[in-house]
Structure 1
Amino acid sequence: MNPVLDARLEAVLELIEADVHVDIGSDHAHLPIRILRAGRASRCIAVELNPGPLAHSLRSAARSGLAEHLEVRQGNGFDPLNPGEVDSASMTGMGTGTIVGILQRAGDKLPAALVLQPNDSPRSIRQWARSSGYHLTAERLMPGYWAYPVLRLDRLPDEDPAYTGVPFRAALRYGPHLLREGSPLLRRHIGEDIVRLTPLAAPGRNAQAELATAQEALAWLDGNTP
């Protein structure tokens, strides 16, 4: 059994390199299976809270032939883990608020490396990382139903250098590494934001600040990328 992953999960897979990795909200456990088959971890734990997805994960794990390396646990976020048990974690296909809530509740169970794929703007994840001792070491933007961001965070000392030399508000919203890369997908994503926000913007409205951030990001791209 070698599950096929879509583009966003392939990007997540490529950013994982660990000894023991946990995938939280694993659903069918396809990502942990691929992590093990690709040699990107020696052991994986799949965590699921709800009975239906938990049954999917257990079934996939049983069929994978990886019983010695893949364990499925039921629980909420990092609750089923022991402190120091894993050195890397992933969360995919969740809202940013859900991901940040899980990270905030993890306490001393948080590993040194995180690979996260939220389904909406990852700005609050980047803000959490900056205030929690994690550096944004890699980013991807993948096509799908919408543009999916994928972030790798590593616990490192000092201030994160990723934000140096890029407009800060735009970097929090769209990603400092992604701005430097300036891909056509990012340009399209920013352009769609501008079109969506323009009729909503008015003094004092949040949409006006969001529009200004999108315009700042596009102006920076126009002046700093090919």
Structure 2
Amino acid sequence: MAAVRAVWPVLDARLEAVLALIRAEVHADIGSDHAHLPIRVVQEGRAERCVVVEVNPGPLGHARASVARSGLGERMEVREGNGFDPLGAGEVDSASLTGMGAATILGVLERAGEKLPAALVLQPNDSPLPLRMWARGHGYHLTAERLAAGYWAYPVLRLERRPGLDPAYAGLPLEAALRYGPLLLRGRSPLLLDQVRRDVARLIPLAAPGRPAERELATARSALQVLEAAS
């Protein structure tokens, strides 16, 4: 009887954007839910091995079932635990954290200590500004970033541990680059252009002198200037 080929999990645009930025020998997906992302990572040869980490009992069971059905049990392992706790220092060289708020992701990163790998792919469900600021203060450079269309435009960041100042921010207004993403600004992302224009329109009636919205509007306008420079 012919072997039955494992079905590849279907990912939405958000997770497809995350998948495209993963390349590693050993990758960990933290808070994996059904483990569809790490299964695709292994199926597509983006990592030789994957460790799936899930703390909640329901998603943990889903992840174990998905990995069992995938036929990739020799190259994947599902572990119960919080954040990087179930991993050893240096065990993985890359990790992804997706579908969480930036503050939640930031908490996981700050608790990881020496277990932090050399590469991170992060997809927050809100503003990635705190993650970009964390990266600049912890020796990580922003080497790729994307926006994925969905309920809103989902940001996806790839960070790599490198020495020196991050060149991604050179020559750009810093507040705008931290808020909207230096590589997205340089690439003049159409999704980002729409977002910045909406921000400007929203902030204009709120930006009375001395209010926080006044500074936010200045940041949005400086980002718009970069995006429209070649128009």
Secondary structure class of the residue paired with 1:116: strand
Give the Cα–Cα distance (whole angstroms) in 2 for the partners of residues 107 and 177 of structure 1: 27
Give the Cα–Cα distance (whole angstroms) in 1 for the partners of residues 58 and 43 of structure 2: 25
Q: Rg bigger for which structure?
A: 2
> Which residue is 2:94 aligned to?
88
Give the Cα–Cα distance (whole angstroms) in 1 for the partners of residues 217 and 86 of structure 2: 41
TM-score normalised by length of structure 2: 0.95
> Which residue is 1:190 aligned to?
196
Q: Which amino acid aligns with 2:83?
A: G
> Which residue is 1:58 aligned to?
64
Secondary structure class of the residue paired with 1:158: coil
Matches within 5 A, 1:158-169: 158-169=164-175
- Post-superposition CA distance 1:41-91 (Å, at most 9, x none): 010011111111111111111111000011111111101111000000001
> Which residue is 2:11 aligned to?
5
Secondary structure class of the residue paired with 2:228: helix
Q: CA deviation at 1:136?
A: 0.3
TM-score normalised by length of structure 1: 0.97
- Post-superposition CA distance 1:182-205 (Å, at most 9, x none): 122111011122223233323333
Count of residue pairs brought into register by the alignment? 225
Give the Cα–Cα distance (whole angstroms) in 1 for the partners of residues 67 and 178 of structure 2: 37
> Which residue is 2:4 aligned to?
none
Q: Does 1:30 align with 2:36?
A: yes
Matches within 5 A, 1:112-191: 112-191=118-197
Secondary structure class of the residue paired with 1:22: strand
Give the Cα–Cα distance (whole angstroms) in 2 for the partners of residues 54 and 202 of structure 1: 49
Give the Cα–Cα distance (whole angstroms) in 1 for the partners of residues 205 and 83 of structure 2: 39
Q: Does 1:208 align with 2:217?
A: no
Q: Structure 2 stretches of 5 or more lacking a match?
A: 1-6
Q: Percent identity?
A: 68
RMSD, matched Cα: 1.0
Q: CA deviation at 1:121?
A: 0.8
Between 1:196-205 and 1:91-100, the stretch displaced more is 196-205
Give the Cα–Cα distance (whole angstroms) in 2 for the partners of residues 51 and 141 of structure 1: 31
Q: Structure 1 stretches of 5 or more lacking a match?
A: none
